[in-house]
Amino acid sequence: MKPLNVLEVIYSPSFGGVGVMALNIMEKLDRKKIRPIVLCFNDGPHDLQDRLDATRIDVFSAKPKNAFNAMSWHKNVSNIIKDHKVDVVHIHAEHPAIAFVARVAKRNKIPIVFHSHNTAYTIKSKSKLKTALRRISMPFIMQYTARLATARIACGSAAGKFLFGNRGFTVIKNGINVHNFVFDEKAREKTRKSFNISSTSTVLLNIGRLAHQKNQGFLLDVFNEYHKGHPDSTLLLIGDGGDKKSLQAKTDRLDLSSSVLIPGVYKDVQGLLSAADIFVLPSIHEGLPVVLVEAQVNGLPILASENVSSESNIAGTVEFYPLDKSPKEWAKKLSAMDLSRNNYAYKNIEKAGYSIDDSAKKLERIYEKVANRKTQ
């Protein structure tokens, strides 16, 4: 029997939560059963291109030559679906552009798997007009797509209830390769050396898209207060995104350029986690972020906003704090935290079922079910 061709619809296969999570699972799918194909909304090369190439996953852009013609977008995606004999369309809910892909899939009578990754809509844009339009349109677009879905899945209960309400959904945990993120002393030394960070410096770490949702601007204010009482401290902001320039400018205004590093994408996540002393996630909203699972495996103490789903505290090493507290109060909270590592936290992650292999097998069964194939 030929493998099912599954079109994985991701806004961008980049170094960020949804893109990394989707690729993690794609890499573990049984290629005798499932052939993943990525559809994104921007041109390459992509941050994760080397991994996509290594696993022989084809990437196509939904963007047609005439990007200003709405019908061209529909025709381009329809041609991709037909040319590659797509059996299932798996849409990752992260951007309003996804709705038209669902519509094209429905017209081509292709089953749709709709995947919720968050507990709020991402509406913030550099353009005030776009932000206003998204605020109005996003709930409609997402609910429209949910109605078209053959199957609904979510990274956790909170994300599922947010997007699907009383409609049924299946939770597929954001599984990871647990042993790839366990603390490593040599990796700590190597990574600190690569960033010219001393062995005595207290390192605060944040990994993710540099975007409004992730709230790194607030984190800079927090670190500004923390640094006053801990001059031998460093903040690592890892990732890329639309807020990078403004974050760099704010770092300069706060006169923190020697203590705040914004190097862009850094692929050795185990090295980063091992080099850090505390992980900070002040996000405005989150579902169940993959990076928080990875940070817990590494044994790091973690401070996250109360807007992050409490489901993410798998190993018991996450403390939650409200965003209505001031940067000074956040800094005080960080100063009071015990920075010792929990070197056995990864065992709790394993026991809780966050194995990438388990997640991949569960997803395979859903693909086969919606495509009306018998599961083994």
Alpha carbon dihedral 234, 239, 242, 248, in 10-degree steps, equals 20
The residues of the chain scoring below 70 in pLDDT are 13-17, 44-47, 67, 123-126, 373-376
Q: List 303's β-bridge partners, or say none.
A: 280, 319
What integer pLDDT is reported at residue 46 of this predicted model? Answer: 66
What integer pLDDT is reported at residue 21 of this predicted model? Answer: 84
What integer pLDDT is reported at residue 272 of this predicted model? Answer: 98
Q: 178-351 adopts what CATH topology?
A: Rossmann fold (3.40.50)
d(CA 306, CA 304): 6
What integer pLDDT is reported at residue 376 of this predicted model? Answer: 42
d(CA 146, CA 131): 22
Residues of the chain with CATH 3.40.50.2000: 4-175+355-370, 178-351
d(CA 146, CA 101): 12
d(CA 344, CA 248): 36
What integer pLDDT is reported at residue 124 of this predicted model? Answer: 64
Residue 253, both tokens: 């205004």
How would CATH label the architecture of 4-175+355-370? 3-Layer(aba) Sandwich (3.40)
**Contact call for residues 260 and 220 (beta carbons, < 8 A):** yes
What integer pLDDT is reported at residue 375 of this predicted model? Answer: 45
